[in-house]
Amino acid sequence: MIKIDNNRVLFLLGKIKERDEEAFKEFFYLFQPSIFYYLFKFVYNRATAEDLTQETFIKFWLNADRLDLTLSGKAYLYKIAHNLAINHTKRTPKDITHEADEFHADRRNGKSDVDYLFLLDDYQKAVSSLPERCRAVFVLCRFDGFEYAEIAEILGISLQTVIKD
């Protein structure tokens, strides 16, 4: 995971609040991969994750004038992504596609073996069977490296609830 300079993010957020498109573009390139991967863990479909990622950044830009620079802009971005993912899963029947296999095979430089694909399939089923809030906590903690307090802020729940989930 790439370490992102928090001072740079705060600077970019200030510029974004002033509607600076270049600052937004840099912010997008910093966070787009992690937002995409977070959303992909919810929907297991590349095209849907790409659409939701784009929608996340559009909503972020449209609400830029409401940014509170005393709060985490990264948490705000993830909260938008999370809400979009939850809304999508409520509207869409639960159906895990095997695009996740293709996605992870790409990440392994094309090396694919049967054991890995079976393990991945079991993993996908286990993660997707978690209740939505528990799955969100798991993905934010294990894959995106958020601290419990940040997860509580993103999901709008108490720190104790995050720890329990």
What is the DSSP code string of 52-81? HHHHHHHHHHHTGGG--TTS-HHHHHHHHH
2 has pLDDT over 70: no
Q: How far apart are CA 50 and CA 54, in angstroms?
A: 6
Q: What per-residue confidence (pLDDT) applies to 117?
A: 56
120 has pLDDT over 80: no
Q: How far apart are CA 12 and CA 116, in angstroms?
A: 40
What tokens were used for 107?
A: 């990440």
Mean per-residue pLDDT of the chain: 79
| pTM, rounded to two decimals | 0.65
Q: What per-residue confidence (pLDDT) applies to 97?
A: 46
* CATH code at 6-95+130-164: 1.20.140.160
Q: What per-residue confidence (pLDDT) applies to 8?
A: 87
Residue extents of the structural domains in the chain? 6-95+130-164
